[in-house]
Amino acid sequence: MTSNINDIRTIGVIGAGAWGTALASVTRRAGRAVLLWAHEAEVAAAINKDHENPLFLPDVSLDPGIAATADLAAAGEADALLLVPPAQHLRAVTGALAPSLPDGTPIVLCAKGVEQETGRLMSEVVAETLPGRPVAVLSGPTFAAEVARDLPTAVTVAAADPVLGRRLVEAIGTPHFRPYLSDDPVGAEIGGAVKNVIAIACGILIGRRLGDNARAALITRGLAEMVRLGLAKGAREATLMGLSGLGDLTLTCSGPQSRNLSLGIALGEGRPLADILDGRRSVAEGVFTAASVTQLAERLGVDMPIAAAVNAILHRGADINETIAGLLARPFRAEATERGAD
């Protein structure tokens, strides 16, 4: 495999939500030809005609060189693909791509989550549905609107194959979108998935007006849970202390643009989950990932009390005040981040 970036001239972005549209803008700025696949034909039409995506990324002007399509096979003809569907739809999208996608097409996973039905990481889903394709993970602290507006951003591009990683970094990097190379894709995936669950927990604390001390403690102990799960899956702790772990966790638990944080705030203020979701078009991945991360942790013997508490509130009807009281009543322990009980 050559390290010449000239073999990545065209990039297909699969998924025209806010993050997919922002990544299309990034790759266009990097000088690539971009074809953005939208599930909704009206989204593709708006991008082609008006150079904007009012449904998912309003008030952001798009480069006229970004082409959009509702034809998945057409987008799959690019030299490399960025996969950006909601995590729970990745299997369906990759299954539809499989019959026409060339074996050597590099796949970059940009969806953050764990599959609810199977507990699989996104890379494990792709290994089943698109076997043999070279795979990398793009993750890090990113709000789509800021990326689309070309505000400075740093991310992790993680690939087991360092040559593939360098090709991708050189193909999509710009002065304001800085990819840092990693060879730990599992760590990048775990960080991107778990941070959404912790962000919901932070939002609940904000909604309950429990103070900044509690939020800081929760972020720190949430990071400990993230590290334990990552180590159990074979990730490195250093990865989870980087952009795709601590960096993404900090942003998602602090920025008002965070869909997961805002959902948690609404829950903490007493709004029913169904009402919150009914009023949203965009996906808060942590709602689904809370269940799958909790199940994965149980299977691996990893104690994740914060994730389990969020799952209980979201999916088991647990009372928020009683759940918080249960966390606060846990035994005092030594501070540690290694695998095992907290």
Q: Which of 49, 112, 195, 233 is catalytic?
A: 195
Enter the DSSP assignment of 115. -
- Pick from 246, 236, 228: which is nearest to 305 by CA? 228
Enter the DSSP assignment of 318. -
Active site residue 195: yes
Q: In angstroms, rounded to a whole number, what is the distance separating the alpha carbons of residues 3 and 78?
A: 17
Residue at token pair 């960025």: 82
Residue type, position 301, single letter: G
Find out whether 269 and 207 touch, Cβ atoms under 8 Å. yes
Find out whether 227 and 237 touch, Cβ atoms under 8 Å. yes
β 135-139/153-158 pair status: antiparallel
Find out whether 87 and 122 touch, Cβ atoms under 8 Å. yes
- Pick from 129, 30, 51: which is nearest to 85 by CA? 129
Write the DSSP string, 13-37. EE--SHHHHHHHHHHHHTT-EEEEE
Strands (E), 63-151: 66-69, 80-83, 107-109, 135-139
Find out whether 292 and 182 touch, Cβ atoms under 8 Å. no
Residues annotated catalytic, as ranges:
195
